[in-house]
Amino acid sequence: MFRFFENLVDPFAPHPDRDHPPHRLWPFLWDYTRPFHGVFVAATLLSILVAGVEIVLIWAMGWVVDILAKGPEQVWQEHGLALIALGLFILILRPLLQALDVLLLNNTMMPQLGTVVRWRAHKHVLRQSVGWFENDFAGRIANRIMQTPSAVNEAMFQIFDALTYSSAYIVGSLALLGLADPWLMLPLLIWLALYLTLMRWVVLRIRVASRNASNARSQLTGRVVDSYTNIHAIKMFAHHDRELEYAREAIEHTRETFQAEMRIYTIMDVSLAVLNGLLIVGVTGLALWFWGIGIATVGTVAAAIALTLRINAMTGWIMWALTNFFQQLGIVQEGMETIAQPVTLLDHPRAKPLQLTAGEIELDGLTHHYGRGQGGLDRIDLTIAPGEKIGLVGRSGAGKSTLVKLLLRFYDAEGGRVLIDGQDIAGVTQASLRARIGMVQQDSALLHRSIRDNILYGRPDSGEAAMMAAAQQAQAHDFILDLEDSEGRQGYDAHVGERGVKLSGGQRQRIALARVILKDAPILVLDEATSALDSEVEAAIQDTLYGMMEGKTVIAIAHRLSTIAHMDRILVLDQGRIVEHGSHSALLVAGGLYAGFWRRQSGGFLSFDPDDEEAAE
C-alpha cells in the first residue's frame, strides 16, 4: 500500500528545461508542482470529505441527545439500525477516508514534492554560467536550493491539511447551524468577518517579516560558509575575532528580524483569544435562548456548543497554519531570487556539436569588458594554427584569463567572435566545445570525492588501467598509494576533502594534470599549470607536459617565463591588447615589455614592477 502511494509520482521524470522560469510566485509554484496537479485535486476532495464527516458526527451527536429522551427501549426499537449504521460509519468509513487523505499527504506529496522542486531547481542552477556563480555566494545558492523545496512542501501541506479542511469545516458549520435556525448563523458570520480581518492583518505583515527573516538567514549562512571555506586564510592571518564580529552582525540581524516576526504572532494569539470568547458566548448563548423559548432542542444546543468548542480549538491551528503557509511562501519567494533567474548563456536553438578537424583557433575582433567599458579584452585579432603552442604573458588584469574564459564560452563576448576550425563557438553546443578543450588551472580545486573519481572526471568511461597510467604520467601514482583519509579509505579510494583541502598544492596540481591527461582533448589550456609544484617535481613533469602538448593546439599562461620560453610563439597582453608577439629569442632581441619582464623576473617569475615599461624602453 505504501509503495503504491509513494510511486504515484516520479520525481525524476523527464521535463523540458525552462530558460526563463516564471518570476511570479503562483505561476512558479504552478509550474514546479505540475506533476502533482492530479494529486492536489484528489487531496482537496478528500480534505472536504473528511471535514464533512466531522460535521456529520457533530450533527449525529445532537440527534443522539434528542432521541435519548425517548428512553432506552424505544430508542433501540426505533433507531437501533441507525445507531449501528452510525457506529459502522465511525469505525470503517471515517478511518478509510482519513487513511486515504493522510496517505496522499504523507506518502505521495511530502516525500516527492520537495524532491521534484529540489531536483529541478538544482538542474536549473547547474545550467547557469560561470559568471552567474561568480556573482553570488556558493553558500547562499546552496541554502536557497535546500530550503526552497522544504518551504514548497510545507506550504502545500498546509493548504490541504489545514486550509482546505478548515474552510470546508466552517462552511459545514454554517450549514449545520442554519438547518437548526438561520439566526444561529449570525454569531458565526460576525466572528468569521472579524477572524478574516485579523487574518488579513497578520498575513500582510507576516509575509514581509518572514521574507526579511529568510533573507537574514541566507545572509548569515553565506557569511558562515565563507568563513569555513576560507579557514586557512583566517587562521593564517589570525583574524578569529574579526570573523566572529563579521558573523555576529549577521546573527544579530537574524535575531532582530525574527523578533519582528514573533511580535506579529503574539498580537495574533491575544486577538484570537478575544475573538474565540465572543464566538463561544455568542453561539452558545443564542442557542440557549432559543431552547428557553422552545425554538431549539437540547440536541441543537449540544451540537452548537460542540461546534463552537471545536472551532475554538481549530482557530489557533488555522491561524498558525495560515501564517506558516505565508511564511513558507516568503521563503519560496526569497529562493526564487536564485531559482527563477533566467539562464542567459544558452546554446543557439540550431546549435550543433563542434566538429574539430585540425584545431585552428581564430579570434576576430574579440572584445569583452564585463559590462564595465574597461578591463578584459579590446578588439583582439589572432590566429593560432593547428598544433601551434602559444604562450600568454602579461600583468594581472591584462586580459589573459578573460581570453581563456571566452574561448571556453564561460561568457558570451561583447564583441567579435571566437572560431575553432572555422566554426563560431556561439553556434555550437557548449558541452561539445568544452569536451574538446583540456584545461589545468593555477587553483586546481578538486571534488570532495575519491582520487579515482577526480581523475576519472576527465573521461568517466576510461578503465582503471588508463586512469592509473594518467596518474603515473602526472607523477602522482606514488603519493596516491600512500594516502589514507579519516574513514580509513586508502590509495585511489581516499577522499580529498572539500576542494582537495587534505592534499598539498602540488598534489592537487598533479591530480588535476592526471585528469586532463586522461581527457586527452585536442586543445590544451594551461593556466600556471606548474605553479604549485616544487622545482624537482616540475622538472620531472616537464616531459609529461611536453608529451601532453604533442599534436595539440596549446595556450599556456605563465608568470614563470621559463615554462613558456620554448613555445612556438609568445603573446604579450597589456590593457586588453596584444602589444608584442614572437618567439622567446625574438622578443628578447626586440627589447620591449617581454624583455623587461625577463630581465626583472626572479627565479623565473614575472615581475609586476610598474617600472618594467620604462626598463623595457
Order of all β-strands in the sheet with 377-384: 377-384, 361-368, 415-420, 423-424
Which structural domain, as residue segments, surrounds residue 380? 361-436+521-616
Cβ(334)–Cβ(321) below 8 Å: no
Structural domain ending residue among the three candidates 339, 372, 407: 339
* Same domain assignment for residues 289 and 387: no
- Kindly state the cell numbers that stand for 151: 518551504
Any domain includes 87: yes
* Same domain assignment for residues 455 and 426: no
* Same domain assignment for residues 497 and 533: no
Split at pLDDT 50, 70, 90, the class of 533 is low
Whether pLDDT at 138 is above 90: no
Q: Any idea what the Cα angle at residue 138 is, between residues 137 and 141, rounded to 5°? A: 90
Mean pLDDT over residues 401-414, rounded? 91
Cβ(284)–Cβ(308) below 8 Å: yes
SS3 assignment, position 582: strand
* Same domain assignment for residues 97 and 188: yes
Whether pLDDT at 144 is above 90: no
User: Does pTM surpass 0.85?
Assistant: no
Write the burial class of residue 334 (CB in 10 Å: 0-12 exposed, 13-18 middle, 19+ buried). Answer: buried
* Same domain assignment for residues 372 and 415: yes
Q: Rounded CA gap, 415 and 368, in Å?
A: 6
DSSP state of 182: G
* Same domain assignment for residues 290 and 261: yes
Q: Any idea what the Cα angle at residue 404 is, between residues 399 and 407, rounded to 5°? A: 125
% of the chain beyond a pLDDT of 90: 32
H or E segment to which residue 433 belongs = helix 430-435
Mean pLDDT over residues 145-154, rounded? 89
Short-list 389, 311, 325, CA closest to 557: 389
Any domain includes 81: yes
Whether pLDDT at 616 is above 90: no
Whether pLDDT at 374 is above 80: no
Mean pLDDT over residues 584-603, rounded? 83
Whether pLDDT at 386 is above 50: yes
- Kindly state the cell numbers that stand for 142: 546552496
**pLDDT value at position 531?**
63
Side-chain-side CA neighbours of residue 601 (13 Å): 19
For 543-573, letters b (16+ CB in 10 Å) and e give ebbeebbeebbbbbbbbbbbbbbebebbbbb
Split at pLDDT 50, 70, 90, the class of 532 is low
Any domain includes 8: no
Short-list 394, 445, 389, 428, CA closest to 568: 389
Q: Any idea what the Cα angle at residue 319 is, between residues 314 and 325, rounded to 5°? A: 125
Short-list 6, 333, 13, CA closest to 147: 333
**pLDDT value at position 538?**
67
Among the ranges given (285-299, 477-491, 597-611), the one the predictor scored with the smallest mean pLDDT: 597-611
**pLDDT value at position 617?**
36
Any domain includes 547: yes
Query: Which residue has 464566538 as its cell numbers?
Result: 279
- CATH number for the domain that contains residue 238: 1.20.1560.10
For 349-359, letters b (16+ CB in 10 Å) and e give eebeebebeeb
Any domain includes 10: no
* Same domain assignment for residues 244 and 290: yes
- CATH number for the domain that contains residue 574: 3.40.50.300
- Residue ranges of alpha helices (H) inside 230-297 are 231-236, 240-292
252 alpha-carbon distance from chain centroid: 25
**pLDDT value at position 540?**
65
- Concatenate the DSSP letters of all residues of 355-408 into one string: --SS--EEEEEEEE-TTTTSSSEEEEEEEE-TT-EEEEE--TTSSHHHHHHHHT
- Kindly state the cell numbers that stand for 590: 626586440
Any domain includes 403: yes
* Same domain assignment for residues 529 and 594: yes
Q: Any idea what the Cα angle at residue 534 is, between residues 533 and 538, rounded to 5°? A: 65
- Kindly state the cell numbers that stand for 121: 531547481
Any domain includes 60: yes
pLDDT tens-place string over residues 69-118 = 777 788 788 888 988 998 898 899 889 998 999 999 999 998 899 999 99
DSSP state of 514: H
Cβ(368)–Cβ(393) below 8 Å: no
Total domains in the fold of the chain: 3
Cβ(311)–Cβ(344) below 8 Å: no
Cross-strand bridge partners of residue 428: 352
Cross-strand bridge partners of residue 577: 574
Query: Which residue has 509550474 as its cell numbers?
Result: 31
Any domain includes 601: yes
Side-chain-side CA neighbours of residue 4 (13 Å): 4
> What single letter denotes the amino acid at residue 226?
D
Query: Which residue has 449570525 as its cell numbers?
Result: 186
Split at pLDDT 50, 70, 90, the class of 4 is very high
Average of per-residue pLDDT values in the chain: 86
pLDDT tens-place string over residues 360-369 = 999 999 999 9
Contacts within 8 Å (CB) and 24+ apart, 292-297: 295/181, 296/180, 296/181, 296/184, 297/62, 297/66
* Same domain assignment for residues 168 and 263: yes
Short-list 530, 504, 499, CA closest to 516: 530
Q: Any idea what the Cα angle at residue 327 is, between residues 321 and 329, rounded to 5°? A: 105
Mean pLDDT over residues 182-191, rounded? 86
Mean pLDDT over residues 335-356, rounded? 90
* Same domain assignment for residues 400 and 467: no
Structural domain ending residue among the three candidates 482, 499, 514: 514
How many residues appear in the chain? 617
Dihedral pair phi/psi, residue 223, rounded to 5°: -70, -40
* Same domain assignment for residues 278 and 212: yes
- Kindly state the cell numbers that stand for 20: 526563463
For 595-608, letters b (16+ CB in 10 Å) and e give bbbbebbeeeebbe
Structural domain ending residue among the three candidates 339, 374, 393: 339
> What single letter denotes the amino acid at residue 220?
L
Strand boundaries in 544-597, DSSP class E: 553-557, 569-574, 577-582
**pLDDT value at position 56?**
86
* Same domain assignment for residues 495 and 528: no
Task: Summarize the chain as % helix, strand, coil (round to 5).
Answer: 65, 10, 25
